[in-house]
Amino acid sequence: MHLYVRVAPSADSTWNVPVSRVRIRIDRIACDGRGLCAEILPELITLDDWGFPIVSEAVVPEEIVDVAEDAVEVCPKLALWLEAVTTGGKEKG
Ligand code: SF4
């Protein structure tokens, strides 16, 4: 598996950090609610009544991590990112 994530949405984010388990995060301020992400990843992203995404807190299943990466990459507002899931230790993202 070749998983690489953007660790945080800030301007000084570190890209391309290899991790093993991730979840999707969203910047609700940046999101414009067109719902492209939900079309790509309906397993983990649904839309509310106003068309804004509701993002699952679940760990992204390994078999759809590539799809989650696609959802992050196509977001026109850069409002999505994948966050490393810590397991109680000092796991770095
Ligand atoms: S693709 Fe990005 S801007 Fe569009 S609804 Fe999803 S998070 Fe919001």
pLDDT digits (tens, 9 = 90+) for 54-74: 999 999 999 999 999 999 999
Kindly state the tokens that stand for 49: 């009544």
Give residue 3 CA to ligand 1 midpoint distance, Å. Answer: 21
Q: How confident is the model at residue 86 (pLDDT cuts 50, 70, 90)?
A: confident
Q: What are phi and psi of 74, to 5 degrees?
A: -90, -10
Question: Amino acid identity, residue 87?
Answer: T
If you search the block for the tokens 């998983």, which residue do you land on?
A: 3
- Helix H or strand E segment including 91: none
CATH number of the structural domain 3-84: 3.30.70.20
9 Cβ inside 6 Å of ligand 1: no
Dist. CA 69–CA 73, nearest whole Å: 6
For residue 68, the Cα-to-chain-centroid distance in whole angstroms is: 6
Does residue 22 carry a pLDDT above 60? yes
- The domain spans of the chain are 3-84
Kindly state the tokens that stand for 86: 């810590």
